[in-house]
Amino acid sequence: MNCSDFLKELTDYLDGVIDADTKAELDEHLAWCHNCFVICNTTKQTIEIYRDSELYELPDDLRSRLRSAIVQKCQKQKAEAHPEPEAKNTKA
């Protein structure tokens, strides 16, 4: 296995979705190839940093504003789709 073979498998390796034989080959490559070892580690850190970053969190006030707008529009949509309330079934 050379470095470019290693890179091709990197995503499956990091996601842990790789068969045992390929994993053993990749582990062996990592044991002696410092560059791939560093690339593997820093790629893993890249994923973790983004996963933990809370980069675009929805602030509470905006969240409730958006939610009430959505609910209001859904109610409007529902009213337009069903103008007759079901309660009017009683024929006197």
Partner 1 sequence: MNTIQKLNEPVSDELALVRAAKNGDIGAFEELVKRYDRNVFRIAQHITQNREDAEDVVQDAFLKAYGNLTQFQEQSKFYTWLVRIAVNEALMKLRRRRPERMISLDEDVKTEEDSIPREVADWSPNPEQQYNQSELKQILSKTINGLPPSFRTVFVLRDVEGLSTEETAEALNLSIPAVKSRLLRARLQLRERLTKYFKRRDNGDGNK
| Angle CA 8–9–11, to nearest 5 | 100
Residue 31 touches partner 1, criterion: CB under 8 A: no
Alpha-carbon dihedral sign for residues 66, 68, 71, 77? negative
User: Could you say which residues in the range 58-77 bind partner 1, by CB under 8 A?
Assistant: 58, 62-63, 66-67, 69-71, 73-75, 77
Verify binding: residue 5, partner 1, rule CB under 8 A. Answer: no
**At its nearest, how many Å lie between partner 1 and the CB of residue 80?**
10
The angle, 0 to 180 degrees and rounded to 10, between the axes of the packed helices 3-15 and 34-52 is 30
Of positions 1, 7, 18, 23, contacts partner 1 by CB under 8 A: 7
